[in-house]
Amino acid sequence: MNLLDWLGRALRPAVAPDAIRSEIFFLGNRHHGEALAGAIEELKAPGLAAGRQRLLRAVVARLKPASAT
């Protein structure tokens, strides 16, 4: 990780765990129980707001299987 990546992560506000859990619930409803696939699909949408991207990336990080790292 270079200095710019580190600064970007350090200055970016964290996503609250409650917001992640809520988004997982809503993604599961919208995508027929497939919250991870739904988050990945929604991340591909053009013009996605930075806050929404951050939340969806946090959902993917939470749901991604440990073996996929």
- Whether 39 maps to a domain, the answer reads yes
- Which residue in this structure is represented by tokens 């270079």? 2
Q: How many domains does the chain have?
A: 1
Instruction: Walk along the chain (69 residues) and give the pLDDT tens digit of each residue.
Output: 678 777 777 676 788 999 999 999 999 999 999 999 999 999 999 999 989 999 999 999 999 986 665
| Residue 47, token pair as written in the block | 């013009």
pLDDT, residue 59, reads 95
Question: Could you list the residue range(s) of the whole structural domain that residue 56 is in?
Answer: 14-68
Model-level pTM? 0.76
- Which residue in this structure is represented by tokens 């988004």? 23
- Whether 35 maps to a domain, the answer reads yes
- Whether 1 maps to a domain, the answer reads no
CA-CA distances (angstroms) from residue 15 to 2, 32, 33, 58, 64? Answer: 22, 24, 22, 7, 16
As a 3-state breakdown, the chain gives helix, strand, coil percent values, each rounded to 5, of: 70, 0, 30
- Whether 20 maps to a domain, the answer reads yes
- Whether 8 maps to a domain, the answer reads no
- Whether 33 maps to a domain, the answer reads yes
- Whether 2 maps to a domain, the answer reads no
